[in-house]
Chain A
Amino acid sequence: MAQTTSFNLNGKPVRVTADPGRMLVWVLRHNLGLTGTKVGCGAGLCGACTVLVDGEPTLSCSTPLSEVAGKSVLTVEGLAKDGALHPVQRAFQEHHAFQCGYCTSGMMLSAYALLQKRPRATRAEIMAHLEGHLCRCGSHMRIVAAVEAAGKDMGGAL
């Protein structure tokens, strides 16, 4: 049954009245109208729905609303600050690290989480970190290059 759940979304407190068992992706897309988070496989197998919960990449198609109560959720809509793209977004834009763009939100959020912790992440670390994200267009090569560039931009340059 519906109940009210509070959490922090992209830096602002929100209260959602919904079934606490509803998966976060539906809450974001249908209760809150934030459609940048995508549904790909519905079973936690493709990474398209990835958001950050307290900074950790989380599959929102498999995470019930109740699990984010009191936590901080970051979606693609929260990456840019005051109209300025985050370095990860800028790098994806400049490297054309996407084609259809459907997996891009999840990719960028995972990359963001990695670079927050390890801005000097190596190519191998980036690839291992993104292994759960599927991209059918085959933009992998550019995505790795973009994440490397974003890391440098975020202060990870040696």
Chain B
Amino acid sequence: MKRRDFLKATGVTGLFILFRAPALAAPQLVPTRPADYPTDFNAYLRIGADGRVGCFVGKVEMGQGNMTALAMVAAEELDVPLERVDMLMGDTDLCPWDGGTGGSLSIWQFGPVLRGAAAEARAVLLVMAGEHFQLPPDRLEVKAGVVYVKGDGSRQVAYGQLVQGRRIERHLADVKPKPVSAYTLVGKPAPRKDALEKVTGNARYSADLALPGTLHACIVRPPAHGTTLKSADTSAAERMPGVRVVRDGNLVAVLHEFPDQAHKALALVKASFEGAPMALDDRTIYRHLAEKTGKVGVQEGDLKAAEARSATLVSLDYLNAYVAHAAIEPHSAVAQWKDGRMTVWAGTQAPFRVKAQVAEALKLPAQQVRIITPHIGGAFGGKAAGPQAVEAARLAMKAGAPVQVVWDRREEFFLDTFRPAAVVKIRSGLDQAGRITFWDCQVCGTSDREADIGYDLPAKRFSSTGDGGDIGTTRAGLHPFGTGAWRAPAANTNVFARESHMDVLAAKAKVDPLAFRLRHLTDPRVIRVLEAAAAKFGWVGAVAPSGRGMGVACGAWRGTIVAAMAEVAVDRGTGAVRVKRVVLAQDMGLVINPDGARQQMEGAITMGLGYALSEGIRFKDGRILDENFDSYQIPRFSWLPAIETVLVDNPGLQAQSGGEPPIVCMGAVLANAIHDAVGARVLELPMTPERILEAMKKS
């Protein structure tokens, strides 16, 4: 969109001239190639005699579509049709090392590695073709995996003929990948490579493996976090026909050929437990967390002086609950000990990490362990490790038979590594002119990642309980149970707090919330994405609360910038929210597969409705009170708003991240829209009807 059209669409011309975006710079975030990735392109690519390209990748497909996007990267660079690339992912015997699939790293981190490998392979193939034709490579061109002599279509040799199924032993240094301007495949919507198997039921997930003689294991679990197994009387279970009991230290399991029988046997185990859970529940947790002061990460400017010159001071605490990953596929694994090797098929985001975990648990050399990752039925950070794989491997070793471990839904909710609950305390001030004077942000319970998007803040301080990690939850005594990465870790917490607070300040300054943001922004990418969202949404500036139920928020994650706008209706009698419309604009640099990017954006908006409106783990004294989808409500069809996505064109910037960024705005954009609708500021996620009614009473 041209700037003039945008101004027309917003109807707030005067405003934008004052805060005109500077010309677009070309920021470059170039990921360094991790030293542990192999440098030999043969590790990633094999060209078959039939011309098909095998692409070997240590990352995994869990629904996010990296199988297709990475295949596109390889196909583009090699000049072969996408349908001729066969992806093999997440097998520790066959695929090159990888650190794990998370953090929206598939394209950002691994994309350049694969592109480099494919570029080198193509250059070597051209040298080989040159020898074949007795011509220099610059006289040759490649179309669809066939090398032609330029200007003579009759002289051609296919990649498959050149390689003849052998390993390519040659290498070339400093091969430049194709320029973006020469792309023919990357940047256009592509069909998902996993579509056919997923619509026919042929896609295999870990629990679908049927090795002969497999036993299904049900494991004795403690009733509460902070307690461990003391003793287990399994005698009644053992009397059931076909049941076996396996004990390996504190791991006690009942096994049967059929899962339902194993579940019945588990119910007969009489176990006792010891230990003391932390005496906390889902209300008292916030005081507990708020007491945990953290380390200062960033401090700039003179906070005291800025506070002294402020006309208005605003201090608020923003709370968010523990949230479950709640993938529909439970954690599953099948382990088989055979010929001196342990093979585990497991739904995990990090097969190489799990390989090390299994080797350590079994005291085996790593080369005696193989992890194979079949399809994964959603993960969102919840399958970042592989505890079920370790359990299956330990049990298989003792049982002398293949063992399948599939957590039931109660185990899923109990053993999940929740998104951490958190308290974000923000102190801030405004001057007479309605500009922010200072921003003092303390994040308790997680890290301060993405707490700052670069608003112009004359004085600022960010501190958090994070210890330098992405999530910042490792401190002992911080959380009463396991926490971990949950789609854009810490960012959902921090963007909710920051972008809610921006709206609070905008309302105090009596300025339209979009204009208030633009007034404090200098980053041209953020400005442009906000403007793109506003244009699509048809944002008409007004001071909130306007009664219209419209909200805005912006955020960032791993080099990608997002801006969301939403329209809601709030039932003043019940507090129920109906999200009518969400627009999401995203600058992710070069877009590999626009349709894949949009799937992630649509999915993140839909998933994000949950943590914003309904999802929060209830617990008491180490017991998780939500055990299934009856009480833990995740988004359903009836919640679906109209969703519109905008990909902001920026092909000059290397491909950034796609899986996580589009979810980070959902808490704030809805909180701001709710405030705009009814004038009530909800400071706690999820924004349940009760909390909205409560906030309405206060406002």
Contact = CB atoms under 8 A, between A and B. Distances in A.
Contact of B377 (A100, A127, A143): A100
Contacts of A22: 258, 260
Interface in A49-94: 75-77, 79-80, 85, 89-90, 92-93
A39 B207 CA distance: 9
Nearest to B377: A102
A80 B408 contact: no
Contact of A93 (B195, B606, B635, B643): B195
A92 B199 contact: yes
Interface of A is mostly: loop
B158 interface: no
B3 interface: no
A100 B637 contact: no
A136 interface: yes
Interface of B is mostly: loop
A45 B199 CA distance: 22
Contact of A35 (B210, B329, B637): B210
Contacts of B198: 92, 98, 101, 104
15 contacts: A23-B260, A26-B258, A35-B207, A39-B330, A40-B409, A76-B200, A80-B200, A96-B595, A98-B195, A98-B198, A100-B376, A101-B198, A131-B636, A141-B606, A144-B640
Interface residues of B, number: 56
A34 B201 CA distance: 9
| Most interface-central of A42, A128, A137 (chain B CB within 10 A) | A137
A113 interface: no
A130 interface: yes
B629 A45 contact: yes
Contacts of A30: 257-259
Nearest to B325: A136
B328 A46 contact: yes
Q: Which 10 A-B pairs have the closest CB atoms?
A: A36-B201, A100-B63, A102-B377, A138-B606, A138-B603, A101-B198, A99-B63, A76-B201, A35-B208, A45-B629
A108 B199 contact: yes
Interface of B: 62-65, 191-192, 194-205, 207-208, 210, 257-260, 326-330, 375-378, 380, 406, 408-409, 595, 599, 602-607, 628-630, 634-638, 640, 643
Interface residues on A, range: 35 or more
B409 A144 contact: no
A135 interface: yes
Interface of A: 22-23, 26, 29-30, 33-43, 45-46, 48, 75-77, 79-80, 85, 89-90, 92-93, 96, 98-105, 108, 127-128, 130-131, 133-144
Contacts, number: 161
A118 to B, nearest CB: 16
A35 B203 CA distance: 9
A137 B378 contact: yes
A130 B207 CA distance: 25
B636 A138 contact: no
A96 B192 contact: yes
Contacts of A127: 637-638, 640
Given A100-B378, A127-B637, A142 B599 contact: yes
A136 B378 contact: yes
Nearest to B662: A138
| Most interface-central of A75, A96, A108 (chain B CB within 10 A) | A96
Nearest to B629: A45
A26 B380 CA distance: 27
B199 A89 contact: yes
Given A96-B195, A99-B603, A136 B326 contact: yes
Given A23-B260, A131-B638, A136 B607 contact: yes
Contacts of A39: 207, 330, 406
B200 A144 contact: no
B375 to A, nearest CB: 6
Contacts of B377: 38, 100-103
B634 A134 contact: yes
| Most interface-central of A43, A128, A143 (chain B CB within 10 A) | A43
B634 A41 contact: no
Contacts of B195: 92-93, 96, 98
Contacts of A135: 328
A34 B208 CA distance: 9
B201 A40 contact: no
B604 A85 contact: no
B668 to A, nearest CB: 18
Given A41-B409, A92-B198, A96-B192, 6 more contacts: A40-B328, A42-B408, A99-B378, A136-B326, A139-B606, A144-B637
A102 B328 contact: yes
A103 B606 contact: no
Contacts of A75: 201
Contact of A85 (B199, B380, B603): B199
Nearest to B412: A41
Contacts of A143: 637
A93 B196 contact: yes
A100 B258 contact: no
A28 B427 CA distance: 59
Contacts of B599: 96, 99, 139, 142
